[in-house]
Amino acid sequence: MPEQPNILLIFTDMQRADTIHALGNPVIRTPNLDRLAREGTAFTSAYSPCPVCVPARWCMHYGQYTGRSDLYANGRMPEDDGRSLPAMLGNVGYRTQGIGKCHFTPDKHALRGFDNRLLQEEGCSKPDQDDYVRWLSENGYDYDEPHGTRGEMYYTPQVSLHGEKDHPSQWIGDRSVDFIREQASSEAPWFLFSSYIHPHPPCAPPKPWHKLYRAPYMPLPNVPPDSESLYTWINRHQNRYKYRDQGIDQNLIRGIKAYYYATISFVDYQVGRTLKALEESGQLDNTLIVFTSDHGEYLGDYNCFGKRSMHDPSSRIPMLARLPERFVAGAVCDTPVSLVDVFPTCAAAGEADMAKLDLPGSDLADIATDAVDREAVFSQFDKDGKAIYMAVTREWKYIYSAAEQRELLFDRINDPNETRNRANLRFSAKTKAEMKSLLIDHLRTEGPADAVVDVNGEFDWRPFPKLDMSYLDDPDADLLFQDHDAVVLDRPGYTD
């Protein structure tokens, strides 16, 4: 058995922080994530450095905040500089394997430090696009829209076209188990990135998992009085193009939540299979396991859907870490942590040289024992006149939206559901100023420094014109098709 621990990074897409039974959700069933929480440390104030897929993944993969990439929304990643997490681990003898979604752009097939990857990416319906679709094709399965029907049905609960054995989550679980078993006799340590697309919509669990939860038994979303006063511009924009701004159907929302939970439980089932493979091969206690996600999902809270904004449903993520010699079993840490902490955590466990990387994050094991002075973590979506910035401490969350030139301040202790904005209360002025200063100092250090300006010797927000949202007055404006592949119905009388 190698002296360095193996490293298993289990990643989901769009999973909210409040979706683990052992950490306070009485409805969801996650016995295997519960086991990780019981045998490891749970970080209950974990946040995405950018609550949207591509930049969040870049931040984790390279251990940097978004300001080092100029990538603040889904778009082209900077060129690989050889300083990714798998590259650093490879330098100290690790075999590195990626299975599932990486969302590397513009080249989805890029390795970016991995020795090998088995691809499963969103929006792929052709056998030459990724390994999963090719596997479906070779085995005679339907491979069109294998992750569910998107477009107008993006938030419509649907049963997967695939049963358990050929479902996308099972495919990742199968190959993760195979890899772990293959490495049992290896003298070299390994790093496995096991990355699931679910619970990202469309929520399409396989049978019989689609009936694990039933809509009438699902809790209603958190919709505070005057909830629209808590929006940023992206909430209105996102609700529109996701077909969710023309009325609220509580039964539909509970149905969406039921299927969202079902996809999480099916991923949890794969986590259990992975843990069993580790245990049976004698590798469990010599493997650092980190479980987390790229960002959350509103799921009807505030009458909103999607991600991208900074309320907890969108920006807060689950984070669990297990390695007996480094993480206390059953411990709960409420110190703010971030995806940027995953890189130094894995690198420290693997004894990789981080001296020249200038990483802003810290080893989660040190954070959990207060060995480092962690006051806040930060997040940003978009830039310039559309930028939304966030700073989070144990007690407070501060948000600034450049498009509206407005501040939000949430009391995390007394108002954990973020129902009222404290930014304009006189007795919160000192706290707001301190949180604003924390965030501005971060931007000046990590970038983008041009988000702020020097006003008479003090730094303040750079002013931008307020964003014109009047286009939403037209109820059909900005509706999108998110199908990716154009489809031509080649039938007599129906061909375009």
DSSP H/E element including 119: strand 116-119
Residues 104-127: what's their mean pLDDT?
94
Helix (H) or strand (E) holding 31: helix 31-39
Rg (CA), the chain: 22
Whole-number average pLDDT of the chain:
95
In this predicted structure, the answer to whether residue 454 has a pLDDT above a threshold of 80 is yes
In tens, the pLDDT along 389-446 reads 999 999 999 999 999 999 999 999 999 999 999 999 999 999 999 999 999 999 999 9
Out of 298-302, 467-471, 481-485, give the one with best mean pLDDT. 298-302
- pLDDT tens per residue, range 204-216: 999 999 999 999 9
DSSP string covering 173-184:
HHHHHHHHHHTT
Bridge partners of residue 407, in order along the sequence = 400
One-letter amino acid of 456: N
| Buried residues in 155-185 as b, exposed as e (16+ CB within 10 A) | bbbebbbbeeebbbbbbbbbbbbebbeebee
Q: What does pTM read for this prediction? A: 0.96
What CATH number labels 381-468? 3.30.1120.10
- Fold classified for 6-376: Alkaline Phosphatase, subunit A (3.40.720)
Residue-range domain boundaries for the chain: 6-376, 381-468
Q: How many CB atoms lie within 10 A of CB 412?
A: 17
Whether pLDDT at 496 is above 60: no
CA–CA separation, 483 vs 490, rounded Å? 18
Q: Which three-class secondary structure state does DSSP give residue 292?
A: strand
